[in-house]
Protein backbone atom coordinates (compact mmCIF):
# COMPACT_ATOMS: atom_id res chain seq x y z
CA UNK A 1 0.00 0.00 0.00
CA UNK A 2 0.84 3.73 0.05
CA UNK A 3 1.88 4.08 -3.56
CA UNK A 4 2.42 7.42 -5.25
CA UNK A 5 2.69 7.71 -8.99
CA UNK A 6 3.88 10.51 -11.22
CA UNK A 7 3.14 11.13 -14.84
CA UNK A 8 4.97 11.54 -17.06
CA UNK A 9 8.20 9.99 -15.88
CA UNK A 10 10.14 11.92 -18.48
CA UNK A 11 9.24 14.90 -20.61
CA UNK A 12 11.03 17.11 -23.10
CA UNK A 13 9.56 20.46 -24.01
CA UNK A 14 10.61 23.50 -25.96
CA UNK A 15 11.55 26.73 -24.28
CA UNK A 16 8.53 28.94 -23.73
CA UNK A 17 5.99 26.17 -23.50
CA UNK A 18 4.25 24.86 -20.41
CA UNK A 19 4.29 21.35 -19.06
CA UNK A 20 2.07 19.66 -16.48
CA UNK A 21 3.19 16.94 -14.11
CA UNK A 22 0.68 14.82 -12.26
CA UNK A 23 1.10 13.25 -8.85
CA UNK A 24 -1.40 10.66 -7.69
CA UNK A 25 -1.81 8.73 -4.49
CA UNK A 26 -3.08 5.40 -5.71
CA UNK A 27 -4.35 3.69 -2.60
CA UNK A 28 -4.79 6.33 0.05
CA UNK A 29 -6.13 9.82 0.50
CA UNK A 30 -3.48 12.47 0.65
CA UNK A 31 -4.53 15.55 2.54
CA UNK A 32 -1.16 17.12 1.89
CA UNK A 33 1.15 16.81 -1.06
CA UNK A 34 4.62 18.19 -1.47
CA UNK A 35 6.66 19.09 -4.52
CA UNK A 36 10.44 18.86 -4.53
CA UNK A 37 13.10 19.66 -7.03
CA UNK A 38 16.32 17.69 -7.32
CA UNK A 39 19.29 18.85 -9.34
CA UNK A 40 21.76 16.25 -10.65
CA UNK A 41 23.79 14.68 -7.88
CA UNK A 42 22.20 17.02 -5.35
CA UNK A 43 19.62 16.80 -2.65
CA UNK A 44 15.91 17.43 -2.76
CA UNK A 45 14.67 20.93 -2.16
CA UNK A 46 11.11 21.53 -1.08
CA UNK A 47 9.31 23.80 -3.51
CA UNK A 48 5.81 23.93 -2.12
CA UNK A 49 3.23 22.28 0.07
CA UNK A 50 -0.33 21.86 -1.07
CA UNK A 51 -3.40 20.91 0.89
CA UNK A 52 -6.47 19.62 -0.86
CA UNK A 53 -8.78 22.47 -1.75
CA UNK A 54 -6.38 25.19 -0.62
CA UNK A 55 -3.77 27.33 -2.26
CA UNK A 56 -0.27 25.96 -2.17
CA UNK A 57 2.34 27.35 0.18
CA UNK A 58 5.56 28.07 -1.64
CA UNK A 59 9.05 28.05 -0.18
CA UNK A 60 11.12 31.19 -0.27
CA UNK A 61 12.63 31.79 -3.67
CA UNK A 62 10.15 29.63 -5.58
CA UNK A 63 8.12 31.59 -8.12
CA UNK A 64 4.47 30.77 -7.61
CA UNK A 65 3.50 32.16 -10.99
CA UNK A 66 5.99 29.91 -12.71
CA UNK A 67 5.29 26.74 -10.79
CA UNK A 68 1.53 26.43 -10.56
CA UNK A 69 0.31 23.82 -8.15
CA UNK A 70 -3.21 22.51 -7.99
CA UNK A 71 -4.46 19.99 -5.44
CA UNK A 72 -7.99 19.49 -6.61
CA UNK A 73 -8.71 16.17 -4.96
CA UNK A 74 -7.43 13.94 -2.19
CA UNK A 75 -5.59 11.80 -4.70
CA UNK A 76 -4.27 14.23 -7.29
CA UNK A 77 -1.94 17.19 -7.32
CA UNK A 78 -0.49 18.79 -10.42
CA UNK A 79 2.58 20.94 -10.97
CA UNK A 80 2.57 23.10 -14.09
CA UNK A 81 5.83 24.66 -15.16
CA UNK A 82 4.79 27.70 -17.16
CA UNK A 83 6.90 29.26 -19.88
CA UNK A 84 9.62 26.76 -19.23
CA UNK A 85 13.25 27.63 -19.83
CA UNK A 86 16.37 25.47 -19.89
CA UNK A 87 17.18 26.40 -16.29
CA UNK A 88 13.92 24.74 -15.25
CA UNK A 89 15.32 21.41 -16.40
CA UNK A 90 15.43 19.22 -13.34
CA UNK A 91 14.04 16.17 -11.61
CA UNK A 92 10.70 16.94 -9.95
CA UNK A 93 9.50 14.70 -7.17
CA UNK A 94 6.20 14.73 -5.35
CA UNK A 95 5.28 13.18 -2.06
CA UNK A 96 1.98 12.63 -0.35
CA UNK A 97 1.23 12.65 3.33
CA UNK A 98 -1.38 10.36 4.68
CA UNK A 99 -1.54 6.63 4.52
CA UNK A 100 -2.60 3.57 6.40
CA UNK A 101 -4.05 4.12 9.84
CA UNK A 102 -1.40 4.94 12.41
CA UNK A 103 1.08 6.15 9.86
CA UNK A 104 -0.45 9.43 8.86
CA UNK A 105 2.72 11.41 9.38
CA UNK A 106 4.76 9.55 6.84
CA UNK A 107 5.38 11.01 3.41
CA UNK A 108 5.31 8.66 0.47
CA UNK A 109 7.33 9.67 -2.53
CA UNK A 110 6.65 9.34 -6.21
CA UNK A 111 9.32 8.08 -8.62
CA UNK A 112 9.96 11.55 -10.02
CA UNK A 113 9.63 13.28 -13.38
CA UNK A 114 12.64 14.26 -15.43
CA UNK A 115 11.99 17.55 -17.23
CA UNK A 116 14.28 18.66 -20.02
CA UNK A 117 13.69 22.04 -21.63
CA UNK A 118 15.37 22.58 -24.97
Partner 1 sequence: AQSVTQPDIHITVSEGASLELRCNYSYGATPYLFWYVQSPGQGLQLLLKYFSGDTLVQGIKGFEAEFKRSQSSFNLRKPSVHWSDAAEYFCAVGAGAAGNKLTFGGGTRVLVKP
DSSP of 26-59: SSS--SEEEEEEE-TTS-EEEEEEEETTS--EEP
49 binds partner 1 (CB under 8 A): yes
What is the C-alpha separation between 59 and 19, in angstroms, rounded? 21
Nearest residue (CB) to partner 1, 36 versus 67 = 36
109 binds partner 1 (CB under 8 A): yes
- 24-43 positions binding partner 1, by CB under 8 A: 32, 34, 42-43
- Where does this chain bind partner 1 (CB under 8 A)? 4, 32, 34, 42-46, 49, 93, 95, 97, 104-112
Amino acid sequence: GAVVSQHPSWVICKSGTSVKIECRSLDFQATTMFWYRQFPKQSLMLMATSNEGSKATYEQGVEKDKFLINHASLTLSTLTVTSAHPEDSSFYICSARGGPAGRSYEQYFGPGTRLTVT
